[in-house]
Structure 1
Amino acid sequence: MALIFELDPAVDPALRDGVLALWADVSNAGGAVGFVPPVTVDDIRPELVKHFAAMAEGRGRLLVGYDEEGAVAATAFLTLNTHRLMRHWLWLYTVMVHPRHQGKGYGRDLMAAAADAARGIESVEAIRLTCRGGMGIDRFYASCGYKEVGRVPDAIRVAPGDDRDDITMLLPLNRC
């Protein structure tokens, strides 16, 4: 069964708790979403509050994928670029699919839904994202149409002696 995607869902305790649980589960499974395991929802909460603040200020949007039980199973945050010379593209952050749903094509569905959401934002012509090197995530994004446009060697320190490249990728949004 496919996920049901919703852009800009109402932020309520169920959504908050669902995103926190997803983020913790993805992080603790080794996902590259800003943390290294082990983490708790309390570790993640301040980062989620920052995303929610950006949403409340009109600088960000949330795309949520719900599974057949109505649980939060996937997310991506679309962050509008506020620099006056760069408003024609946005950032995609915290792209996650719950580990129990991985391998079902939901990641590709999430990326397509994020591109569709970005196309719906006036004047947005491209999506940029960054990912952690050494995990193969860049190959997944490339398979979704993204191109590597920059790389900073050893910019992400996962642990002492474990530095990873910070890879920037771009998806031009072909508008019809």
Structure 2
Amino acid sequence: MIRHGLVEFRQISDPSEISARQTRELVECWITVANTGGAVGFAFPPVGLEQVAPVAERLIADLDPQRSRLLLAMVDGALAGWLNLSRHVDPLVAHWGTVNRVQTHPGYRGRGIGAEMMHRVRQIGRDEMGLEQLRLYARGGVGLEDFYGRLGWKEIGRWPGALRFGAGDDRDEILMVLAPL
């Protein structure tokens, strides 16, 4: 675990490295963030254990030091946020990684934890995984492009109206990149 201010970061790169308690906290965080409108892969809340746990189990099962890692942000031993960093195995695109599921538990928002996770994932990608650039997709209309933009990410594409949340509620999907690392 790496100490950074009040937040401790823990990297998980193998399924055997995550405890049952941490898995449970990760799932609970994911449910809470999704149910409070977070853009974390479940667009139609409410969601519960039956929807989120199988997705989390697959994510954890796919962990591998060269291909997929979790970054956990802990405050006083409790999970405050997490994200996933992955790379494709195809050598054509193995020089870049994708950041997914960036989330901070609502009880810990406003403390800079999300920004700290994004700074740390940049270091992990560059120094530990040998990546040259990172990309992510963000849901438009909720201020995510501004958050990432303040951290050095650049919008490089936008698919207008790609995401439909309901009648009259279409949102853009935004592709962002961070390069060089």
Shared fold, TM over 0.5? yes
Amino acid aligned to 2:10: E
Q: What is aligned with 1:163?
A: 170
Q: What is aligned with 1:123?
A: 130
Q: Following TM superposition, where does structure 1 have runs of at least 4 consecutive aligned residues deviating by more than 6 angstroms?
A: none
Task: Evaluate the alpha carbon distance shift between residue 80 and residue 153 of structure 1 in structure 2; reply closer, same or farther with a 3 A threshold.
Answer: same
Residues 52-96 of structure 1 show CA distances to partners (whole Å, capped at 9, x for unaligned) of: 12215953111000111x111110100112222111100000000
Aligned residues: 173
Q: What is aligned with 1:18?
A: 25
Q: What is aligned with 2:7?
A: 3
**1:7–1:117 contact (8 Å) kept in structure 2:** no
1:154 equivalenced with 2:161 (yes/no):
yes
- Counting aligned pairs with the same residue, the percent is 34
Q: CA deviation at 1:164?
A: 1.0
TM-score, normalization: structure 1?
A: 0.91
Gaps of 5+ in 2: none
Q: What is aligned with 2:98?
A: 91
Q: Secondary structure at the match of 1:149?
A: strand
Gaps of 5+ in 1: none
1:64 equivalenced with 2:64 (yes/no):
no
TM-score, normalization: structure 2?
A: 0.89
Q: Secondary structure at the match of 1:55?
A: coil
Cα distance in structure 1, aligned partners of 2:166 and 2:7: 34
1:172 equivalenced with 2:176 (yes/no):
no
Cα distance in structure 2, aligned partners of 1:31 and 1:122: 28
Task: Give me the CA root mean square deviation.
Answer: 1.7
